[in-house]
Amino acid sequence: MQFGASTFIWASPFRTETFDLVYKVKDMGYDIIEVAVEDKDLIDWAKLKKIVKDTGLKVTISGAFGPDRDISSTDATVRAQGLQYIKDCIAIAADMGSPVFGGPVYSAVGKTRIVSAEQKQQERNWCVENLVKAGLIAREAGVVIGVEPLNRFETDMINTADQAIELIREVDSPFVKILLDTFHCNIEEKNIPATIRKVGKDLLCHIQGNESDRGTPGTGHLDWQGISDALADIGYEGALVIETFGAPSKELARAASIWRPLANSADELASEGLAFFKKQFTRSAEAIAG
């Protein structure tokens, strides 16, 4: 298992001026830095690529989907902007060597409403239409799109793994799979280990391992033993990344309902979370090996 830390833990938005985070993540002992692309033009990608190469870290790319990047919007201009953003992030992922680009690609975070069945179906049709296009682009780039279910307080479209499975079956691309975030799963799934097994190795492309309160992994009530056993059972070979929000922007705080500090410090959350993961997942691997 390789472990990663999202730039969201420390900075929002991530930008060239915060590249010192790369060295911090490396010094903490992580294998991967997950770069959240809120504004691609704030990042000197050539410089970042060199720094990452020099440190030996790997990169994964995640997205930030505000109301102007909604591929299921009733506004055609917004849908086009959303698809273009996905295209841009896929290109970035390919250039940075990220095997995945993940996030709630299907809609805008914070979009929660009761709408008619007709409107809901139309929005889903627009979503599928655009994800089919995105899947073709992902195929050309050799990057997998990870569809991330969010909890009911952050989206009204895809809340569960079952809904995500149904969506990607409609899209029908081997380059559109599922990203599971254990924070969201804790709210929406009956049993997280069973959900992991249901999604399975073929569809699960990425895991964001977040605690029940988005705080330090190991300090809440998630069944980490069950989660690690399930990942081992399906032969999961991807990354496990901590993604929480130490200094969210006003927009991000509102969308994700982050109103208080989630740990004593971002550094403490990242370092103690990694120590917990290394201990937990090593113990599980040793138990399975006999």
How far is residue 26's CA from residue 46's CA, in Å, rounded to a whole number?
19
Name the active-site residue from 34, 38, 148, 211.
Answer: 148
**2-289: CATH architecture:** Alpha-Beta Barrel (3.20)
Which candidate, 284, 159, 151, places its Cα nearest to that of 226? 284
Question: With a threshold of 0.85, does the pTM exceed it?
Answer: yes
Read off the tokens for 87: 């295209």
- What pLDDT digit, counting tens, does each position of 152-197 carry? 999 999 999 999 999 999 999 999 999 999 999 999 999 999 999 9
DSSP letter at 282 equals H
> Is 148 among the catalytic positions?
yes
Could you tell me the CA-to-CA distances from 44 to 35, 39, 96, 130, 199 in Å, in that order?
A: 12, 11, 12, 28, 36
> Is 211 among the catalytic positions?
no
Residue positions counted in the chain: 290
Confidence of residue 202 (pLDDT cuts 50, 70, 90): very high
- What pLDDT digit, counting tens, does each position of 205-240 carry? 999 999 999 999 999 999 999 999 999 999 999 999
Report angle CA 130, 184, 158 to the nearest 5 degrees: 30
How far is residue 85's CA from residue 135's CA, in Å, rounded to a whole number?
14
Phi/psi of residue 277, nearest 5 degrees:
-60, -45
